[in-house]
Amino acid sequence: MNDLFIKRQLNFLIQLLGLCTLLFGAHSYLNYHFAKDILLFFPLWHIYLFHIVTVLMIYSLINYRDSTGKTDVFNVFMLGMLLKMILVILFLLPWLLSEADQKGFDLTNFFVPYFVLLAFEVYSVTKFLQKKQQHDSTLKESK
Protein backbone atom coordinates (compact mmCIF):
# COMPACT_ATOMS: atom_id res chain seq x y z
CA MET A 1 0.00 0.00 0.00
CA ASN A 2 0.99 3.54 -0.67
CA ASP A 3 2.16 5.51 2.41
CA LEU A 4 0.20 8.57 1.28
CA PHE A 5 -3.00 6.49 1.03
CA ILE A 6 -2.53 5.05 4.53
CA LYS A 7 -1.70 8.44 6.06
CA ARG A 8 -4.73 10.15 4.53
CA GLN A 9 -6.98 7.18 5.33
CA LEU A 10 -6.03 7.09 9.02
CA ASN A 11 -6.33 10.87 9.32
CA PHE A 12 -9.79 10.79 7.72
CA LEU A 13 -10.90 7.83 9.85
CA ILE A 14 -9.89 9.58 13.08
CA GLN A 15 -11.67 12.78 12.03
CA LEU A 16 -14.76 10.87 10.89
CA LEU A 17 -15.03 8.87 14.12
CA GLY A 18 -14.49 12.02 16.20
CA LEU A 19 -17.17 13.91 14.30
CA CYS A 20 -19.60 10.98 14.46
CA THR A 21 -19.02 10.52 18.18
CA LEU A 22 -19.69 14.20 18.82
CA LEU A 23 -22.71 14.24 16.52
CA PHE A 24 -24.10 10.99 17.93
CA GLY A 25 -23.72 12.27 21.48
CA ALA A 26 -25.55 15.50 20.71
CA HIS A 27 -28.20 13.65 18.72
CA SER A 28 -28.77 11.10 21.49
CA TYR A 29 -28.98 13.87 24.09
CA LEU A 30 -31.56 15.79 22.07
CA ASN A 31 -33.60 12.66 21.38
CA TYR A 32 -33.52 11.67 25.04
CA HIS A 33 -34.69 15.04 26.30
CA PHE A 34 -37.13 16.04 23.57
CA ALA A 35 -38.36 12.77 22.03
CA LYS A 36 -38.07 10.06 24.63
CA ASP A 37 -41.71 9.04 24.15
CA ILE A 38 -41.31 8.55 20.40
CA LEU A 39 -40.61 5.05 19.15
CA LEU A 40 -37.95 5.25 16.43
CA PHE A 41 -38.07 2.93 13.43
CA PHE A 42 -34.27 2.78 13.22
CA PRO A 43 -32.10 3.07 16.34
CA LEU A 44 -29.64 5.94 16.12
CA TRP A 45 -26.66 3.63 16.17
CA HIS A 46 -27.95 1.89 13.00
CA ILE A 47 -28.19 5.22 11.25
CA TYR A 48 -24.72 6.34 12.30
CA LEU A 49 -23.16 2.98 11.46
CA PHE A 50 -24.69 3.16 7.98
CA HIS A 51 -23.36 6.69 7.48
CA ILE A 52 -19.87 5.82 8.72
CA VAL A 53 -19.64 2.82 6.41
CA THR A 54 -20.87 4.66 3.31
CA VAL A 55 -18.74 7.77 3.87
CA LEU A 56 -15.66 5.67 4.59
CA MET A 57 -16.29 3.50 1.55
CA ILE A 58 -16.54 6.43 -0.85
CA TYR A 59 -13.60 8.30 0.65
CA SER A 60 -11.45 5.16 0.57
CA LEU A 61 -12.21 4.60 -3.09
CA ILE A 62 -11.40 8.20 -3.98
CA ASN A 63 -8.26 8.18 -1.84
CA TYR A 64 -7.10 4.93 -3.44
CA ARG A 65 -7.67 6.22 -6.97
CA ASP A 66 -5.87 9.45 -6.21
CA SER A 67 -2.93 7.77 -4.48
CA THR A 68 -2.39 5.43 -7.44
CA GLY A 69 -2.09 8.40 -9.80
CA LYS A 70 -5.51 8.30 -11.44
CA THR A 71 -6.76 11.77 -12.30
CA ASP A 72 -10.47 11.02 -12.75
CA VAL A 73 -11.27 11.40 -9.07
CA PHE A 74 -14.31 13.62 -9.74
CA ASN A 75 -15.93 10.88 -11.83
CA VAL A 76 -15.32 8.37 -9.04
CA PHE A 77 -16.82 10.81 -6.53
CA MET A 78 -19.95 11.27 -8.64
CA LEU A 79 -20.29 7.50 -9.12
CA GLY A 80 -19.83 7.07 -5.37
CA MET A 81 -22.59 9.58 -4.68
CA LEU A 82 -24.92 7.67 -7.01
CA LEU A 83 -24.06 4.42 -5.24
CA LYS A 84 -24.63 6.11 -1.89
CA MET A 85 -28.09 7.31 -2.98
CA ILE A 86 -29.01 3.77 -4.02
CA LEU A 87 -27.79 2.44 -0.67
CA VAL A 88 -29.79 5.12 1.16
CA ILE A 89 -32.95 4.03 -0.64
CA LEU A 90 -32.23 0.38 0.18
CA PHE A 91 -31.54 1.26 3.82
CA LEU A 92 -34.73 3.31 4.13
CA LEU A 93 -36.91 0.92 2.12
CA PRO A 94 -38.33 -0.96 5.14
CA TRP A 95 -39.19 2.37 6.74
CA LEU A 96 -40.74 3.70 3.52
CA LEU A 97 -42.91 0.61 3.16
CA SER A 98 -44.00 0.62 6.81
CA GLU A 99 -46.81 2.43 8.53
CA ALA A 100 -44.56 4.28 10.97
CA ASP A 101 -46.29 6.86 13.16
CA GLN A 102 -43.46 9.39 13.25
CA LYS A 103 -42.31 9.56 9.61
CA GLY A 104 -41.11 13.17 9.92
CA PHE A 105 -39.08 12.48 13.02
CA ASP A 106 -37.47 9.37 11.52
CA LEU A 107 -36.69 11.31 8.36
CA THR A 108 -34.99 14.06 10.36
CA ASN A 109 -33.04 11.50 12.40
CA PHE A 110 -31.63 10.06 9.20
CA PHE A 111 -30.98 13.11 7.05
CA VAL A 112 -29.48 15.56 9.57
CA PRO A 113 -26.38 13.36 10.09
CA TYR A 114 -26.44 12.46 6.37
CA PHE A 115 -26.00 16.08 5.30
CA VAL A 116 -23.48 16.90 8.04
CA LEU A 117 -21.34 13.91 7.04
CA LEU A 118 -21.80 14.66 3.33
CA ALA A 119 -20.45 18.17 3.92
CA PHE A 120 -17.52 16.70 5.86
CA GLU A 121 -16.84 14.20 3.08
CA VAL A 122 -16.89 16.85 0.34
CA TYR A 123 -14.66 19.12 2.42
CA SER A 124 -12.16 16.32 3.04
CA VAL A 125 -11.98 15.28 -0.62
CA THR A 126 -11.57 18.83 -1.88
CA LYS A 127 -8.95 19.54 0.78
CA PHE A 128 -6.61 16.78 -0.32
CA LEU A 129 -7.27 17.53 -4.01
CA GLN A 130 -6.33 21.17 -3.45
CA LYS A 131 -3.12 20.12 -1.69
CA LYS A 132 -2.31 17.88 -4.65
CA GLN A 133 -2.94 20.73 -7.12
CA GLN A 134 -0.73 23.07 -5.09
CA HIS A 135 1.99 20.41 -4.97
CA ASP A 136 1.73 19.81 -8.75
CA SER A 137 1.88 23.54 -9.54
CA THR A 138 4.93 23.93 -7.27
CA LEU A 139 6.67 21.13 -9.14
CA LYS A 140 5.90 22.75 -12.51
CA GLU A 141 7.25 26.11 -11.33
CA SER A 142 10.50 24.58 -10.10
CA LYS A 143 11.21 22.99 -13.50
Average pLDDT, integer, range 78-98: 92
Closest CA to 63 of 143, 108, 2, 137: 2
Residue 141 lies in a domain: no
Position with higher pLDDT, 125 vs 88: 88
- Whether residue 47 contacts residue 109, with contact meaning beta carbons closer than 8 Å, is answered with yes
Q: pLDDT tens across 63-79, in order?
A: 888 888 777 788 888 89
Q: pLDDT tens across 28-58, in order?
A: 999 989 888 888 888 999 999 999 999 999 9
Q: Max Cα separation, the chain?
A: 66
Residue 142 lies in a domain: no
Residue 115 lies in a domain: yes
Position with higher pLDDT, 15 vs 70: 15
124: domain range?
3-133
Position with higher pLDDT, 67 vs 110: 110
Q: What is the pLDDT, as a whole number, of residue 138?
A: 61
The pTM assigned to this predicted structure is 0.86
Residue 138 lies in a domain: no
Residue 17 lies in a domain: yes
Residue 97 lies in a domain: yes
Q: What is the pLDDT, as a whole number, of residue 81?
A: 92
Which one-letter DSSP state was computed for residue 43? Answer: -
> What's the mean pLDDT when you consider all of the chain?
87
Residue 139 lies in a domain: no
Tally of structural domains, the chain: 1
Residue 95 lies in a domain: yes
Position with higher pLDDT, 51 vs 106: 51
Q: What is the pLDDT, as a whole number, of residue 134?
A: 62
pLDDT bin (cut points 50, 70, 90) of residue 9 is very high
Alpha helices (H) along the chain: 3-34, 44-67, 73-97, 103-142
